Structure 1
Amino acid sequence: MSFKILGTGHCVPSRVVTNDEMSTIVETSDEWIAPRVGVRERRVCTTETASDLAFEAAQQALAMSGTKPEELDMILCATLSADEASPSMACMMQNRLGASCPALDVNAACSGFIYALDTAAGFFARKKVKKMLVIGGERLSRLIDWTDRNTCVIFADGAGAVVLGEGDDYLSSKLYAKGCETIVIPQYAGDSPFNQLEARKPFIRMNGQETFKFAVNAMAGDIIDVINAAGLKQSDIAWVVPHQANARIIDAASRKLDIPADRFGKNIEKYGNTSAASVPILLDELNRAGKFKKGDYLALASFGGGLTSAACIIRWGI
């Protein structure tokens, strides 16, 4: 017993920031950003919070699945940018939705959503739940150094969600972690009068070159491993739903696989890198566009700070 996906949803802020507008904030241009990253515009919160985005995405997924909040047995939220250290985003969702179930956050950076799916699979396997809500929600705009053109042009805000029910459509998975500081977001230093450590600004810092090399190899290798673990061939995969960090990473990973490039979903040009939200946002967009057929095999893959990576195979059941 694993699970099946019953419904999907996503939400992004209304404020669109184009590459041309970014060039008025930091020294950059569309000609510099688009070829290197693949982003042409992104969504950035103005009055919205991360929880606002997650709440709307959750409502959409619940509506599609025909599930009432009181039917949920657990809520998991994948995030590294929750509005509060406590209560968790998952607890805030439980309250706003009117659910009465356990709720917790998962932080594996951009790999968080697939980590959360794998966590959910364990609860289904132990028959502890019948329906779960899993959300990836981020407001990375508050963690960006808006003077650093190497990162501020990449990251953005958004949320995606799925409702899971009992089933056997989660066929295989792989989680990986390698503790290092290739991507770092320092915590707020606090104001302890006893602290003697250097205070670092709580903004994203990334070694782009090292991240690129890790990401390409991790994505391609993880997809191969989960396909083999599911007893499938690469030709069986109808769609790859990859983390949207960099279009060149997705293209490079696809060249290492025997899966046609047009089976790799992309929306990075519209949304940028929304961390744990990117995979469920893309999943919902492809679902609502009618790209998936019942019985299709999907490969989800992600990588991120930690360093972490994750992949899984899902048989589509909607």
Structure 2
Amino acid sequence: MTSSSSARYSRVSGTGSYLPPKRLSNAQLAEQLAADGVETSDEWIIARTGIKARHFAEADVACSDLAVEAARHAIESAGLAATDIDLIIVATSTPDMVFPSTACIVQRKLGIVGCAAFDVQAVCSGFVYAMTVADSMIRTGAARHALVIGAEVFSRILDFKDRTTCVLFGDGAGAVVLSASDTPGILATELHADGRHSDILCTPGTVSGGQVLGDPFLKMDGQAVFKLAVGVLEDVARSVLAKAGRAQEDIDWLVPHQANIRIMHGTAKKLKLPLEKVVVTVDEHGNTSAASIPLALDVAVRAGTIKPGDTVMLEGVGGGFTWGAVLLDL
């Protein structure tokens, strides 16, 4: 892919993230669960997931609060003012309210007026979906500086009597600013969904007549998710590389959705990528759904692990069943 004076691309100009201060180790969580008669242990959780700790938001902290903190860091990193942002997309499955969108609430809290703001709901693939939408809007001239956020408070929808799910998830937010450029940044993207598998990872409750109908807690068929995830992540990664005219050897860093260390290692193995090229934060963050990819990206960028000029593959898979990937030059 080559640039020209008339071409318009999008590049990551800034990254940011935020974790709520309350950190809960496996041992601390196991102690809390034991009080309710639910048995688990640090060893059991690490062996199955690679997770050692996660962060939970306090009861009075909303999804938008986490999103705003991550957004401010990303805007500062991009060297911009909040008023320079002309598009806000928030990927979340745990919004502040039914409506308006969390993006509109973030817009108000950042003091931005007039630009388009909306949410994207694709669960753990949400950030990849949101990045793809923002890239498309920048390429068509609809935006110049897009704020793309993944933010979640999954602790609000966990059943703490189900040890197979409650130990997996955490809260947090990550963000990037995508800016228009005449030099390619995002090289290729691809999104998919298969609603036939909508029941293997879902939160099947809804609100009607002032009451919750159905089950408001997260449900997951872990084995079914694992089996689907590794296969589709390999396929979409190869497809995005082909679109960009790149080879797997060109990938400097893989930043996958931080769900389970075994899924991440399985994907890297299929792509013949050494594990040293995989950015891993699931050990400290748990699965933060739509926040996990931008959180991991920001951690790696600020640590100097991912550097300007590196080629990075972002990929996610989540409830829906949804999946997708973004290949970019930082």
Note the C-alpha offset of 1:218.
1.4
1:299 aligned onto 2:313: yes
Residue 193 of structure 2, aligned match among 167, 170, 177:
177
1:34 aligned onto 2:46: yes
Note the C-alpha offset of 1:128.
1.2
Note the C-alpha offset of 1:254.
1.2
Looking at structure 1, the residues matched to 48 and 210 of structure 2 have their Cα atoms a distance apart, in angstroms, of 41
1:217 aligned onto 2:231: yes
Note the C-alpha offset of 1:188.
3.0
Please list every run of at least 4 consecutive aligned residues from structure 1 whose deviation after the TM superposition is greater than 4 angstroms.
none
TM-score for both structures, normalised by structure 1: 0.95
Corresponding residue for 1:53?
66
Note the C-alpha offset of 1:289.
0.5
Looking at structure 2, the residues matched to 192 and 56 of structure 1 have their Cα atoms a distance apart, in angstroms, of 32
Q: Secondary structure at the match of 1:240?
A: strand
Corresponding residue for 2:126?
112
Looking at structure 2, the residues matched to 189 and 103 of structure 1 have their Cα atoms a distance apart, in angstroms, of 24
Looking at structure 1, the residues matched to 274 and 303 of structure 2 have their Cα atoms a distance apart, in angstroms, of 20
How many residues in Structure 1 have an aligned counterpart in Structure 2? 312
Q: Secondary structure at the match of 1:39?
A: coil
Residue 261 of structure 1, aligned match among 256, 260, 275:
275
Corresponding residue for 2:154?
140
Paired AA for residue 178 in structure 1 = D
1:272 aligned onto 2:286: yes
Corresponding residue for 1:203?
217
Q: Secondary structure at the match of 2:206?
A: coil
Residue 209 of structure 2, aligned match among 191, 194, 214:
191
Q: Secondary structure at the match of 1:309?
A: strand
Looking at structure 1, the residues matched to 241 and 274 of structure 2 have their Cα atoms a distance apart, in angstroms, of 15
Structure 2: gaps spanning 5 or more residues: 1-7
Note the C-alpha offset of 1:192.
6.8
Corresponding residue for 1:11?
18
Identity of aligned residues (%): 40
Looking at structure 1, the residues matched to 207 and 72 of structure 2 have their Cα atoms a distance apart, in angstroms, of 35
Map Cα deviations across residues 136-174 of structure 1 (whole Å, 9 max, x no partner). 000000011111001000011000001111122110111
Looking at structure 2, the residues matched to 293 and 65 of structure 1 have their Cα atoms a distance apart, in angstroms, of 15
Q: Secondary structure at the match of 1:32?
A: helix
Structure 1: gaps spanning 5 or more residues: none
Residue 103 of structure 1, aligned match among 108, 117, 125:
117
RMSD, aligned CA: 1.3
Paired AA for residue 72 in structure 2 = Q
Residues 139 and 180, structure 2, Cα contact 8 Å, conserved in 1? no
Corresponding residue for 1:244?
258
Looking at structure 2, the residues matched to 152 and 60 of structure 1 have their Cα atoms a distance apart, in angstroms, of 29
Q: Secondary structure at the match of 1:174?
A: strand
Looking at structure 2, the residues matched to 40 and 234 of structure 1 have their Cα atoms a distance apart, in angstroms, of 30
Map Cα deviations across residues 2-26 of structure 1 (whole Å, 9 max, x no partner). 3001110000111111111221213
Paired AA for residue 40 in structure 1 = K
Q: Secondary structure at the match of 1:86?
A: coil
Q: Secondary structure at the match of 1:138?
A: strand
Note the C-alpha offset of 1:102.
1.3
Residue 9 of structure 2, aligned match among 2, 7, 12:
2
Paired AA for residue 275 in structure 1 = S
Paired AA for residue 121 in structure 1 = D
